[in-house]
Structure formats: C-alpha cells, structure tokens
Amino acid sequence: MEISSEVGSTLSDRIRRGDVLAAACPSRAVLRHLTSQWGVLILIVLEEGTFRFSTLRRRIDGVSERMLAQTLKALEGDGLVRRTSFDTVPPHVEYSLTDLGRQAARRVRDLVDWVETSLPAILDARDEAGRRSA
Amino acid sequence: MEISSEVGSTLSDRIRRGDVLAAACPSRAVLRHLTSQWGVLILIVLEEGTFRFSTLRRRIDGVSERMLAQTLKALEGDGLVRRTSFDTVPPHVEYSLTDLGRQAARRVRDLVDWVETSLPAILDARDEAGRRSA
C-alpha cells in the first residue's frame, strides 16, 4: 500500500491507495467481504432495491440465517450496506446499498454477468480439461 | 438457470445462461473459484503475464504452497488458467491465462481497482460505523 508520511493524521488520510497483494493491507479484508460467496449475492440483490432480511434470505437460495446476518454486518461495517430499523411492533428492519455499496455492486454485477453468460463456454472448457486428464 | 429442452445435447448446449442466485446452478461454483481469496489475486497477477509457480507464490503475499496449487487447479479446471510444462531437467512449469481467463481477469481487476482506490473512503465509513455502535 502507498502510505504518506504525514504525522498525526488518521489511517485513511495516510493510505492513498490499497494494494491487495500485500497481506497486511486493509484492502484485502474489504475485498474478502465483497467477494465472499454470500457478499457477492447480497450486493447483486440489493442493487435491485431495499429489502427486509426475510426477503434477502428467500432470494439468495441456500444462505443460512447466520451467514446472511454475519455477511450483512461485515458489509455494513465497510460502509457498503445501510441497515435502517423502524420503531414498529414487531420491529421492521430494511437493508439497502450506500453510495459506496452501489459503486462496488456495479463491479460485482459485471463479473457475475460475465460468469452467467460465459457459463456454456466454461462448462465446455471443463469437459475438455476432464478429458485431457482422464 | 435457463435450460433449453433439446434432448440428447450436452449440459453446455442446454444451459443458455447461468443464475448464481440458484444454489444448484454450476455458475455458483465458477464464481466461487473466481472470487476466492486466492483466485482473485492469481487472476490479477496472471493478467500481467506468464509466471512460474515460485514467482506467483512470491508475488501473492501470504499464500501457502498448498492453497496456491489447489486454486490454480480449480481455475485450470474452469478453463481460465493454462498450465504448460516443459520437458526439461528439472521440469519447468508455467501458468498463464486462457482467453476466457483474460475476460474474467478484466472484470476482477476492475473490482480490485475500485477497492484499492476507494480504500480511504471505506476506512472512513468503517470508523464512522465503529463510532455509531460504540
């Protein structure tokens, strides 16, 4: 990571740009949250709108309550997801993307779109690799 | 996933487009290889050129020999990475991206670039989230 030498400034003032290839750079943890199995899927669903926990859980086939809660918390901690709770009975909680989250989600969506549309070619390549190693 | 009803065709002929939100769709496994901690870093390093195992290991700070070998194998299985071995003594093995791999790496690189350049903003958001929950 590129770090300036200003004294008395906060970490975010001093880091000009992260470097994910450096194990100690905090960008690596952020990347891990974004690219975790459930992080990716949460971002692309929230790109479509604001949802309650139960809706997110239904949309993301296979996610457990625990993993959904944990991943939402990590993304909230990175400032990518906003959790809004309404003071109703029963309490009502909604999740949406922040501006930063929308920027991240756009890149994640590009990657997911590529995987989804390239799947036939990838499956062909996989068959071929299987034949070569057989 | 969208699957056509042609009979007697291979899976890749029948799948028109993957859907990562469906747990059973093979696109989810591909996405997981691509977005695994080491998968991301391997792709962005191989985008720069062809490298030997030992060079990859040195460039990707913190990766173990075992995880590097395992992740390269998964990416090779998806047709994204090409492994070329030369019949020399000692044997010489090189890794590079295939055409598909280059397409994937471009999207992954966009996401990594965003994370690296947005890191100061993300760290600020994280500080603020920490203060709110304190």
CB contact under 8 A, B27 and A61: no
Tokens at B42, concatenated: 């391997």
* b/e map A82-95, b = 16+ CB within 10 Å: beeeeeeeeeeeeb
Task: Choose the weakest-confidence range: A3-7, B57-61, B91-95.
Answer: A3-7
Q: Give pLDDT tens digits for A105-126.
A: 999 999 999 999 999 999 888 8
Q: If 0-12 CB within 10 Å is exposed, 13-18 middle and 19+ buried, where does residue A103 land? A: middle
Tell me, what's the pLDDT at A11? 64
A34: β partners? none
How far does A89 lie from chain B, in Å, by closest CA? Answer: 23
Binning pLDDT at 50, 70 and 90, where does residue B10 land?
low
Measured CA to CA, the distance from residue A100 to residue B122 in angstroms comes to 8
ipTM, 2 decimals? 0.86
Looking up tokens 């030498």 gives A5
CB contact under 8 A, A104 and B115: yes
Test mutation, B111, B132, B133, chain A, max A CBs within 10 A: B111
- Start-to-end CA distance of chain B, whole Å, equals 44
Tell me, what's the pLDDT at B8? 58
Measured CA to CA, the distance from residue B64 to residue A87 in angstroms comes to 49
Checking DSSP bridges between strand A92-97 and strand A51-52, what pairing results, if any?
Answer: antiparallel
Tell me, what's the pLDDT at B63? 96
- Start-to-end CA distance of chain A, whole Å, equals 44
Measured CA to CA, the distance from residue B100 to residue B81 in angstroms comes to 8
Q: Give pLDDT tens digits for A4-28.
A: 666 556 666 666 788 999 999 999 9
Asked whether A56 and A68 are in contact (CB, 8 A), the reply is yes
Instruction: Give domain B36-133's CATH architecture.
Output: Orthogonal Bundle (1.10)
Tokens at A107, concatenated: 């890149």
